[in-house]
Each structure stands twice: as C-alpha cells, then as structure tokens.
C-alpha cells in the first residue's frame, strides 16, 4: 500500500519483462474502486479503452517500448472511504504493427443502431 494525500501526484510505471525487444506496452484501462474485489459496482474510470477519463491523468515519455509511465492525482471515494484500489489492463503488442491495439489510441464503443 501507498499512503498519499488527496490530490498528490501518483506516478506509475509498468514494465514488461520479456526477452523479445520488439514488444511494447499500451495502457488500455485503469479503474479505481473502494473495495479490492469489486471493480464493477462503485468505480471511477481513470482511463477506459485508451480514452482518458480523469483530467489529472497524463502519460510520460519512456525510453523503452516495453515500459509505460503515467500519473494521476490521488482522490478519495465519497463517504470517507480512505482506501482506493486500482486495477489496470495493459496490452502487449508488436512494435511497429500499426494495426495493433497499441497504435489505435482512444477507442470509443461503437453504438448499435436501434431497430424499429
């Protein structure tokens, strides 16, 4: 656990341990929850499907493709729940495969047409 103050910058780094130098990481989704085992009921999206949802979220330059660096500001859920749990989904892609998920960026859900 990390103990931080509200609005303090939280810096995160994800690193892919692989002998393949042609792999890269992409931060697809990070969701916060006040409970460690439920990331569906009461949640807060920091980034979802590559789309930034939290205005304090920012990515940082990484000298390596297999490392992702980002930050957001610490926050607290309502009702004075002092704990926040984070669950992130990262995608591993082949570097320079421009059709891969890593190069698509923000992907909004396509809306289905309502039938008559």
What are the pLDDT digits (tens) for 42-82? 899 999 999 999 999 999 999 999 999 999 999 888 776 78
Cβ pair 38, 95 in contact under 8 A: no
Q: What is the mean pLDDT of residues 10-27?
A: 94
At residue 1 the predicted structure's pLDDT band, cuts being 50, 70 and 90, is confident
Cβ pair 74, 11 in contact under 8 A: no
The pLDDT, as a whole number, for residue 116 is: 47
DSSP assigned state of 112:
P
Class of domain 8-96: mainly beta
Q: Where are the domains of the chain?
A: 8-96
Residue 48's nearest CA partner among 13, 88, 6 is 88
Q: What is the mean pLDDT of residues 89-106?
A: 94
| pTM, to two decimals | 0.84
């Amino acid at each position: 656990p990390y103990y931080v103050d509200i609005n303090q910058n939280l810096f995160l780094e994800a690193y892919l341990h692989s002998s393949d130098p042609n792999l890269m990481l992409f931060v697809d989704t990070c969701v916060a929850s006040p409970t460690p085992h439920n990331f569906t009921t009461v949640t807060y999206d920091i980034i979802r499907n590559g789309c930034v949802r939290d205005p304090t979220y920012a990515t940082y330059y990484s000298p390596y493709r297999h490392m992702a660096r980002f930050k957001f500001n610490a926050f607290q859920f309502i009702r004075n729940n002092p704990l926040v749990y984070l669950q992130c989904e990262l995608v591993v892609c082949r570097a320079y495969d421009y059709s891969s998920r890593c190069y698509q960026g923000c992907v909004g859900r396509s809306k289905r047409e309502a039938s008559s």
